């Protein structure tokens, strides 16, 4: 393990028994394609596991600490905690972006594509911690780095669904229900990207992008709220 991963391990207060797991958590599939002699796999299996561990830790925490809250509220809070933007923001603040193992092409990616990579790496790191040190260590990591964002989410109401909020405001202000249309669809079936527009009748308010129509619609609604109604 090279020096930069040793420093990261120290910075994150982690102590991997299997140091290769830490490195693998940062290895994007594209890096393997350009470095066939690399002796570790990419991080997608660790990401798959880490996503499940993260969901359980967050769900259990919300269930235990907010007994008075209904299932719907807890679901909204969890969604705000584990979405791509939040995970990528947390990963960036932790300095994870400097350690990504990417192909030369992927290194040039910005915006949404980079956001997805960071979120995936954060999940893969959780998966690696779980495999190496068990549930309690993974839980501690999630609490220290992700669940600390919950008070801000609650106080700023970041959990509110932008589509519902836009619909409520648009109906009240103009008596019209927003509609969503696909502007562009690109990428292979396993890695789709959608650009959706949100409209009031024939008037386009904003556009959004995402790896699913739902995600792109939510971004479009959020941009419409910021642009038109703030």
Q: Would you state the pLDDT for residue 113?
A: 76
Residue pair 77/153 in contact by the 8 Å Cβ criterion: yes
Could you list the mean pLDDT of each consecutive 10-residue stretch along the chain, which spans 230 residues?
85 94 95 90 97 98 97 91 93 94 83 86 98 98 97 88 86 91 89 92 93 90 79
Q: Which CATH architecture has domain 162-229?
A: 2-Layer Sandwich (3.30)
Token pair of 167 as six digits: 């619909």
CA distances from 167 to 171, 175, 199 (A): 6, 10, 11
3-155 and 162-229 share one CATH topology? no
Q: Would you state the pLDDT for residue 78?
A: 94
Evaluated on CA atoms 80, 85, 89, 95, the torsion sign reads positive
Choice among 47, 51, 120, 139 that is catalytic:
51
Strand ranges, E, within the chain? 179-186, 193-200, 203-210
Q: Would you state the pLDDT for residue 109?
A: 74
Q: Is 51 a catalytic residue?
A: yes
Q: Is 123 a catalytic residue?
A: yes
Choice among 47, 76, 120, 123 that is catalytic:
123
Q: What is the pTM of this model?
A: 0.77
Domain ranges, ordered by start, for the chain: 3-155, 162-229
Which residues fall within 8 angstroms of residue 115, CB to CB, at 6 or more apart? 84, 85, 88
3-155 homologous superfamily:
Ribonuclease III domain (1.10.1520.10)
């Amino acid at each position: 393990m090279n020096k930069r991963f040793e420093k990261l391990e120290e910075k994150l207060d982690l102590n991997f028994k299997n140091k290769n797991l830490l490195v693998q958590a940062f290895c994007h599939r594209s890096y393997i394609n350009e470095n066939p002699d690399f002796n570790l796999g990419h991080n997608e299996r660790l990401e798959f596991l880490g996503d499940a561990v993260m969901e359980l830790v967050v769900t259990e925490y919300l269930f235990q600490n907010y007994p008075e809250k209904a299932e719907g509220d807890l679901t909204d809070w969890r969604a705000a905690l584990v979405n791509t933007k939040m995970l990528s923001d947390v990963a960036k603040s932790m300095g994870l972006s400097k350690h990504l193992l990417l192909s030369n092409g992927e290194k040039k990616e910005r915006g949404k594509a980079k956001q997805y990579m960071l979120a995936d790496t954060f999940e893969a790191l959780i998966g690696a911690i779980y495999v190496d040190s068990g549930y309690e260590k993974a839980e501690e990591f999630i609490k220290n780095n992700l669940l600390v964002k919950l008070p801000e989410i609650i106080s700023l109401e970041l959990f509110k669904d932008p589509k519902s909020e836009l619909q409520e405001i648009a109906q009240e202000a103009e008596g019209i229900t927003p509609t969503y249309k696909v502007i562009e669809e690109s990428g292979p079936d396993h890695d789709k990207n959608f650009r959706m527009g949100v409209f009031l009748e024939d008037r386009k308010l904003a556009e959004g992008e995402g790896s699913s129509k739902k995600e792109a619609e939510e971004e479009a609604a959020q941009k419409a709220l910021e642009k038109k109604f703030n």
